[in-house]
Amino acid sequence: MIVFCSNCETVNLFQRILKGLDFNNVNANKHVKDEEVPQVLFEGNVYKLHGDMDHSDRKTNYKGFDKAEAAVLVCTDVASRGLDFKGVEWIVQYDLSSEVKEYVNRVGRTARIASSG
């Protein structure tokens, strides 16, 4: 999943919030024969990517997200063009872009290299 935000500060905030959540200990339980089985919502890492990051940090987060089996990338429009991530199934646009072209580039992250979006 990629979550697009409008600025670097929002990216930093959302990444800290998501990293701080305990997805393995949620209140939404499944009941199986009178037993409560905790529901795991997400098992993966949360990465961030924006223009105010050091180049080495951007590179590390890019590679980490790209190689992850399950992950969230919180980013600015820096990730909407020119980057190829495999297996992106969800795009969340927390802050909508004011330009149609940017919106299309963001959504296009799911339809990469012979994949449908």
Alpha helices in the chain (DSSP H): 8-20, 55-67, 100-107
- Residue 65: both structure tokens together: 């997200």
> Is 5 exposed, middle or buried (CB count within 10 Å of its CB: 0-12, 13-18, 19+)?
buried
Position 112 scores a pLDDT of: 55
Within 13 Å, how many C-alpha atoms sit on residue 65's CB side?
22
Closest CA to 72 of 60, 83, 50, 88: 88
The domains of the chain, with CATH numbers, are 2-22+43-110 (3.40.50.300)
Position 20 scores a pLDDT of: 81
pLDDT digits (tens), the chain, 117 positions: 999 998 999 999 999 988 887 665 555 555 555 556 555 567 789 999 999 999 999 999 999 999 998 899 999 988 777 777 877 888 888 987 777 777 677 776 665 555 555
**Rg for the chain (alpha carbons), in Å?**
16
Would you tell me how many other CB atoms lie within 10 Å of the CB of residue 55?
Answer: 7
Structural contact between residues 46 and 71, judged by C-beta atoms closer than 8 angstroms = yes
